[in-house]
Structure 1
Amino acid sequence: MNQKVGYTALSVLLTTSLFATACSNKSEETKTVAVSKPTKQVVNVTQTAEISTLDSTLATDSVSISAMNNVFEGLYRVDKNNRPEPALAKSYTLGPDKKTYTFKLQDAKWSNGDPITAADFVYAWKRAVNPETGAEYAYLLYDVKNAKKINEKQLSVDELGVKAIDDHTLQVELENPVPYFIDLVSSTTFYPLNQKFVEGQGKKYGLEANATLYNGPFIIKKWNHEQNLQLVKNPNYWDKDKVKLQEVNINVVKDTSTAVNLYTAKQIDRVDLTGELVSTYKNDATLKTYLNGRTNFLRLNEKNKVLANPNARKAISLSIDKKGIADVILNNGSVPADYLVPKELAFGPDGKDFRKTTSTYGHLDIKKAKDYWEKAKKELGVTNVTLEMLNYDDDSSKRVAENLKEQLEKNLSGLTINIKQQPNAQKLKLESAMDYDISLSSWGADYPDPMTYLDMFVTNGAFNQTGYSNPKYDDLINHAKTDLLYNLPKRWEVLKEAEKTLLNDAVVVPLYQKGTSYLQRPYLKGFYVYGPNTYKYAYIEK
């Protein structure tokens, strides 16, 4: 079959591959598949969930952000080393106060031919902090002058510290010097928006391919919800000469075995592996593994009477064998995490990894877990407890949830866990509404600083979603975001104390730092993943 997979053909293959999984010969699967190089610049891949939205102001999930990273662009984008590289910003100057940035913009166009101007950034950023928009990521802009007060309805949106000096000059005023601000502006919430188009689409904006306007390396040609997505090269992209791929076909495949069968059948060019499949392909020359800057954890909803009890939360935290989940259930390079801020993400003023200079918390201790649990039940006046665990509906998440259920029910007498599997978009809605007891969640860094994980859990934080409120914790985070930006060594120590406070309170239960094991065709070059997938520099080697 030709390397370019037709959607109808692929749909048939997705159905038949379920049967092939049961009938496949393992000894044959372990062989490296010989695949001739395709003749076109076309890549076929899979993802485990549907995009929730392409509205860059409202999107929060990793699946949507990965898509937006390829069809939109901000002032900067993240390179393969997780460092910012210029995108729509040709350059910037920083004023002597270290708080005023002036960006010079590229000559660039939207996919409809309209010029991209500084006013597009002003509109997008004001829209994000406008409380009527309801953007959960609005707090990412709180470093911009007056953003927080605007979002809290204390000031008019017109008082935001951002303005268009002219079409190609954007000026930004900050509340305080922010050492990671250039990293921050690569985040999707900082992308520009074409006001006329967005307001013309109304509530439809970002929910269909033709209800979205693009400015990145690719545009979306087809979007069949819960099935597939087709990206094609954007002819109006300012840096189009560096984009070699003509087409990227992305199919939603939630079952790992099905995705592997597609790879074995030469229908896709890259596949992620977990569990036994990693061992099956351990001798394959194309097998690669890397550690992500993403932590997976349990959120514990304190609106639930049981989980509002600190002893109950501590019991759950101490009763889970995380090593077994990482090494056996996943077996994909993931590592057990007794921490929230991941390894190899953030480096302090001394140049050392945050993770190597601080402690870990919530280690497995079944005896202590049982003691906490019995104390909690006594305080609550109950002998039996039933809790629901909200979860994604992909194959890997299912297996992790089933293992957690088994461990928690075994170690904590009288506890029953019911698992509730939901598609990505619906899970996010339930989590945002705090309509859950326990939720299997994950978080990837928006910028390389511990704050991207820690400021989620301040009182009433948009992504707190646990009901946690601790004035001491709020105070630590506030100092780290304001006055301590002038004293970076002290700020680093305060961030360590914040993580310690959060995890000792068992607000969340870290499980593992995500790793990825994958097979990839040798002819697919220049494709990289650090957080979102990036196809801009990918190409087929002929």
Structure 2
Amino acid sequence: MKKSVLSVVALTALSSLGLAACGNQASGSHNGVVNMSEPSNLLTLDQSKLVDQVSDVTLNNSNQGLLVMTKNSQVVPGVAKNYKVSKDGKTYTFNLRHSKWSNGTPVTAKDFVYGFQRSVNPKTAAAYQYLFDNVHNAGAVAKGKMPVSSLGVKAEGDYKFVVSLDKPETYFKYVATMPPTYPQSKSEVDKYGSGYATTSDKQLYNGAFQVKGWTGTNDNWQLVKNPYYWDKNNTKLSTMKFSVAKDPQTALDQYQSGNLDEMKLSGKSQVSSFKGNSEYHPRKEAGTYYLEMNQKKVAALRNVNVRKALSLAVNRNELTNNVLGNGSVPAKGFVASDMSKYKGKDFTDDAYVSSAVSSNLEQAKKLFVKGMKEVGQNKLNLSLLSDDSSDSKSMTEFMQNEFQKLPGLTVNDVNVPAKVATSRTEKGDFDLTVDAWIADFPDPVSFMSLMTTNNGYNHGGWSNSQYDSLMKKATTNDANNYAKRWNDMVNAQKVMLKDQAVAPLYQLVSPQVLKNRVQGVNYYPSGGNYDFRYVHTNN
């Protein structure tokens, strides 16, 4: 869905930090407690409203849906002890286990009904609302034309939950692992109203951990073992402590002194110093960083030559090798590589458009001049939005320098707190912004659906009828024909890239160091990434 799932996150960038020896350090942690570092703040605990990776990982470990993602793109039972799919692929019936919320009350099928309804309800304004498009009546409900009670979900008793789809959806099993489909307590939402899930004590949890100590604005919080979790006997840790360290040197000092058990490395110097160490883990994600260009707000960005010029102006090799230096690689397309294959061929190879992901400054200058003439301008001032971490500032400074090589273009960097950057991006209050998407599940549609007209994550407002038509075919007529569905999406990405809807920049590798004392961390390239249910310490 990341969830999964993210809009604006801290970017890993250049760091010229001096490093001390980086072998195994004695940890200051006690057995059963692990100290983790995050590069950016937790933004929400609302299952319906998450937009960032930190919130996705937190919810993935403090709450649980019908199914759970595991290795090799497999799903296993979560709250649903089993499920069945009708022969026509349109009805999913989930038989629920007898699980509980963190206050000891039962989690029932009605909580899933309400969770689905709340995520689709237009009053919630959930960015992930589109995930429910195939649920019966979801489109009309989302537009406010039908009541939420008409959504195709129902409870048959306390422990049977049924979902009716308008058309087959082979990837619905993955959707059922994501936070917007999690159960939600209506009484809890009614109790807190607009304050629901804005702090850790205004939320209930049905997962392995409960969130503690988050005020909605502070830089630290905890995952504490949930005594009511149905599989609590297999949860070994008592506490995971999280803290935000926007300064990479501060995090490194804490890690080397033993006050942190984990951190994300920043910059070429840090990464190279840990390579070959048993604590080093390069986490390749099914994630793409890309430039969004606001076509609704800036008239010049509606011109395809201006958009192509901005893309060609960015030297992606320099970005990944010298600015990032973390193992990330230039993007081959909008969809991440090494995620989806058909007949042995990667999606990014089938849907490759070289010009959309290449760097050519001379060509960029020519196209920019041509595009500006077409829009009747000779000068253009743009702002580049991102968060205010040191890493993001390095990233935007590099981008600013690249863009201003184009004649008549001035770019101003706007670095604000992550929560503000996310809010502004969602509202369309930007000219240019660096967004990131990590696939919620290992299927190209997790990326491709984002760029359909009026999708909540299509912040730049790009719209193309041919693209929409191909994606509609992939999700309707060809939904049960894998070969045709694959070709629909391949052709759709080619349309999108040839029109430079966005400028793919790089595929993310998150270099992590983790103390050897910490065992059982499960990492998955898509979705919530980290599963801490089975983490334990060996001291």
TM bin (shorter chain): over 0.9
CA separation of 1:25 and 1:370: change in aligned 2, threshold 3 A: closer
Residue in structure 2 matching 1:260, options 252, 256, 270: 252
> Residues 168, 352 of structure 1: CA spacing in aligned structure 2 closer, same or farther, 3 A cutoff?
farther
Q: Which residue of 1 aligns with 2:332?
A: 338
Partner of 2:385: 390
Seen in structure 2, the aligned counterparts of structure 1 residues 390 and 245 have a Cα distance that, compared at 3 Å, is same
For residue 137 of structure 1, the aligned residue among 106, 122, 128 is 128
Shift of 1:274: 2.5
Instruction: Confirm whether residue 244 of structure 1 aligns to residue 236 of structure 2.
Output: yes
Q: 1-side partners of 2:72 and 2:22: how far apart?
A: 31
Would you say 1:379 and 2:374 are equivalent positions? yes
The CA RMSD measured in Å over matched residues stands at 1.8
Q: Deviations over 1:378-425 (max 9, x none)?
A: 223333221100012223222221111111112x12211111112222
Question: 1:351 deviation in Å?
Answer: 5.4
Q: 1:351 to 1:236 in 2, by over 3 A?
A: farther
Deviations 1:13-57 (A, max 9, x none): xxxxxxxx99x864xx13413326954210001112212211101
- Contact 2:282–2:509 (Cα < 8 Å) also in 1: yes
Among 229, 245, 269, the alignment partner of 2:261 is 269
Distance of aligned partners of 1:30 and 1:504 in 2 relative to their CA distance in 1, 3 Å threshold: farther
Read off the aligned partner of 1:525 and give its amino acid letter.
Q
2:291 matched residue in structure 1 = 298
Tell me what 1:368 maps to.
363
Name whichever of 353-362 and 243-252 sits farther off. 353-362
Match of 1:123, as an amino acid?
A: Y
Secondary structure of the equivalent of 1:502? Answer: helix
**TM alignment of 1:120-519, pairs within 5 A:** 120-224=111-215, 225-275=217-267, 276-302=269-295, 303-348=297-342, 350=343, 352-361=345-354, 362=356, 363-410=358-405, 412-519=406-513
Match of 1:539 in 2: 536
Separation in structure 2 between the aligned mates of residue 462 and residue 38 of structure 1, nearest angstrom:
42
Q: Which residue does the alignment assign to 1:104?
A: 95
* TM-score (ref. length: structure 2): 0.92
**What secondary structure is seen at the aligned counterpart in 2 of 1:32?**
coil
Look up the match of 1:49. 40
Counterparts of 2:349 and 2:403, CA distance in 1: 30
TM-score (norm 1): 0.92
**How far apart are residue 507 of structure 1 and its match?**
1.4
Q: Show the counterpart of 1:94.
A: 85
Alignment-mate amino acid for residue 397 of structure 2: E
Q: Does the 8 A contact of 2:65 with 2:183 survive in 1?
A: yes
Greater alpha carbon shift after TM alignment, 275-284 vs 459-468: 275-284
Q: Conserved in 2, the CA contact under 8 Å of 1:408 and 1:415?
A: yes
Distance in structure 1 (CA, Å) of the matches to 2:303 and 2:126: 31
Q: 1:398 to 1:37 in 2, by over 3 A?
A: closer
Match of 2:118, SS? helix
Determine helix, strand or coil for the equivalent of 1:223. Answer: coil
Unaligned runs of at least 5 residues, structure 1: 1-20
Distance (Å, rounded) in 1 between the aligned partners of 2:25 and 2:245: 23
- Alignment-mate amino acid for residue 338 of structure 2: E
Q: Is the Cα–Cα contact under 8 Å of residues 22 and 273 in structure 2 kept in the other structure?
A: no
- Relative distance call for 1:98 and 1:283 in structure 2 (3 A) is closer
Paired residues for 1:61-80 under 5 Å = 61-80=52-71
What SS class does the counterpart of residue 154 from structure 1 fall into?
Answer: coil
**What letter matches 1:540 in structure 2?**
T
Q: 1:346 Cα deviation (Å)?
A: 2.1
Give secondary structure in 2 for the equivalent of 1:91. Answer: strand
Q: Is the deviation greater in 434-443 or in 168-177?
A: 168-177
Q: Using the alignment, how far apart are the partners of 1:352 and 1:168 within structure 2?
A: 42
Deviation at 1:375, TM superposition (A): 0.6
Contact 1:38 1:540 (8 Å CA) reproduced: no
Contact 1:49 1:423 in 2 (8 A): no
Q: Distance in 2 between matches of 1:453 and 1:422?
A: 26
Q: Point out which structure has higher relative CO (alpha carbons under 8 A, 6+ apart).
A: 2
Residues 139-188 of structure 1, C-alpha deviations (whole Å, 9 max, x = no match): 10112111122112333322211111111111111111111111111111
Q: 1:274, 1:329 within 8 Å by CA — same for their partners in 2? A: no
State which drifts further: 227-236 or 362-371.
362-371
Change in 2 beyond 3 A, CA 1:38/1:433:
closer
